[in-house]
């Protein structure tokens, strides 16, 4: 058994993987320190779930290295597996069970099962423990899922697509409960998602991948460094900006165009006047993480 002598819980180096003739990972690199919340962000099909499957040992990569607690992910010891709690693309699989049956089933696999945290989160639902999972709303199911995840008392939590079809309110509630748990117990988290609105409140560091390649990485608040947002009146021929590689995204609402670009504010007057063939009025705006996500990965 390997002894963890570093602070790295996850270490991925030059990871590559192919399905048939389709190469889905192109040299992915990332590392997650103990006690950190790390985001693996990307659109559907970007390679997030393949990366998770390699980390969990479900897939063996074509090349590269993936270490979890300093062990090769493809040959994790039972002891190391017991340190990992996985939420894999959705809710609980056994929705024919009741709340109580769900706990009885899952706790039989986890020696460190925490009955108190399970009871605490379930109590918030206000449902009888005999209530069937299949008869719950999407948000209620997410609460049971979170209870199962936390009650495992694992050192590393992996959440593959945590959003699970939840609306904004339940996503926020899910992350608030999870964040409180993680901070109090000093857990490490890896979360993948293509819905980024709530992530910047939760994640410390992240990488953004597109078509199996890392586009940008770093502190969550710095992923958009170098990008700037400008609101421009609708009375211009905005299509003229499509000729410039500095322009990363153009969106339209009922009031204005929103342009995301690498053009700095001190250069904006000259750039827009030249590109649009006239002097224009514009307004600078701060980018959200979602703005950055779309600008770097595209709308389609």
pLDDT tens column, 246-271: 999 999 988 999 999 999 999 999 99
Report d(CA 233, CA 280) in Å as an integer.
8
Report which secondary-structure segment, H or E, holds 80: helix 78-81
Work out the pLDDT band at 91, boundaries 50, 70, 90. Answer: low
Report d(CA 287, CA 285) in Å as an integer.
6
The per-residue pLDDT of the chain, averaged, comes to 90
Exposure class string for 173-185: b at 16+ Cβ within 10 A, else e: bbbebbeebbeee
Across residues 216-245, what is the average pLDDT?
A: 94
Work out the pLDDT band at 90, boundaries 50, 70, 90. Answer: low
Across residues 220-225, what is the average pLDDT?
A: 93
pLDDT of residue 1: 43
Q: Is the pLDDT of residue 3 over 70?
A: no
Q: Is the pLDDT of residue 161 over 90?
A: no
pLDDT of residue 173: 79
CA-based max dimension of the chain: 71
The candidate with the shortest Cα–Cα distance to 85, out of 12, 38, 153, is 153
Across residues 238-246, what is the average pLDDT?
A: 94
pLDDT tens column, 61-74: 999 999 999 999 99
Q: Which residue has the higher pLDDT, 3 or 33?
A: 33
Report d(CA 192, CA 45) in Å as an integer.
12
Report which secondary-structure segment, H or E, holds 209: strand 205-210
Report d(CA 192, CA 62) in Å as an integer.
22
Report d(CA 216, CA 16) in Å as an integer.
17
Domains and CATH numbers, the chain: 8-222 (3.40.50.300), 228-297 (3.30.70)
Instruction: Give the strands of the sheet with 188-193, arranged side by side.
Output: 84-88, 156-160, 188-193, 37-41, 205-210, 213-219
Report d(CA 54, CA 38) in Å as an integer.
17
Q: Is the pLDDT of residue 89 over 70?
A: no
pLDDT of residue 164: 63
In this structure, what are the phi and psi dihedrals at residue 53, rounded to the nearest 5 degrees? Answer: -60, -35
Under 8 Å between Cβ of 211 and 46 = yes
Across residues 227-248, what is the average pLDDT?
A: 95
Report which secondary-structure segment, H or E, holds 48: helix 48-55
pLDDT of residue 299: 80
Q: Which residue has the higher pLDDT, 167 or 153?
A: 153
Torsion (CA) 249, 253, 257, 263 in degrees, nearest 10:
-40
Q: Is the pLDDT of residue 289 over 90?
A: yes
pLDDT of residue 104: 95
Across residues 269-290, what is the average pLDDT?
A: 94
Please tell me the least confidently modeled range out of 169-173, 245-249, 267-271, 281-285: 169-173
Q: Is the pLDDT of residue 2 over 70?
A: no
The candidate with the shortest Cα–Cα distance to 27, out of 10, 47, 41, is 47
Which residue has 């595209």 as its token pair?
A: 298
Q: Is the pLDDT of residue 228 over 90?
A: yes
Percent of the chain beyond pLDDT 70? 95
Work out the pLDDT band at 287, boundaries 50, 70, 90. Answer: very high
Q: Is the pLDDT of residue 203 over 70?
A: yes
Report d(CA 183, CA 145) in Å as an integer.
19
């Amino acid at each position: 058994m390997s002894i963890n002598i570093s602070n790295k819980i996850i270490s991925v180096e030059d990871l590559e993987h192919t399905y048939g003739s389709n190469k889905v990972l192109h040299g992915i690199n990332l590392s997650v320190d103990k006690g950190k919340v790390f985001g693996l962000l990307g659109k559907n099909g970007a390679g997030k779930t393949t990366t998770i499957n390699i980390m969990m040992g479900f897939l063996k990569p074509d090349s590269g290295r993936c270490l979890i607690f300093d062990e090769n992910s493809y040959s994790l010891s039972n002891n190391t597996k017991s340190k990992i709690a996985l939420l894999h693309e959705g809710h609980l699989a056994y929705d024919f069970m009741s709340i109580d049956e769900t706990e009885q089933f899952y706790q039989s696999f986890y020696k460190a099962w925490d009955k108190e945290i399970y009871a605490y989160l379930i109590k918030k639902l206000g449902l009888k423990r005999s209530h069937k999972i299949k008869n719950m709303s999407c948000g209620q199911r997410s609460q049971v899922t979170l209870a199962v995840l936390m009650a495992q008392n694992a050192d590393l939590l992996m959440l593959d697509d945590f959003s699970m079809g939840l609306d904004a309110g339940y996503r926020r509630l899910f992350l608030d409960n999870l964040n409180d748990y993680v901070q109090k117990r000093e857990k490490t988290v890896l979360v993948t998602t293509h819905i980024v609105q709530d992530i910047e409140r939760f994640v410390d560091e992240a990488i953004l991948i597109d078509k199996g390649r890392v586009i940008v990485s770093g502190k969550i608040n710095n992923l958009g460094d170098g990008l700037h947002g400008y609101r421009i009146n609708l009375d211009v021929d905005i299509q003229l900006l499509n000729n410039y590689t500095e322009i990363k995204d153009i969106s339209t609402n009922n009031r204005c165009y929103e342009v995301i670009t690498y053009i700095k504010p001190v250069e904006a007057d000259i750039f827009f006047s030249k590109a649009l063939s006239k002097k224009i009025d514009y307004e600078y705006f701060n980018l959200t993480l979602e703005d950055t996500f779309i600008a770097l990965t595209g709308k389609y």
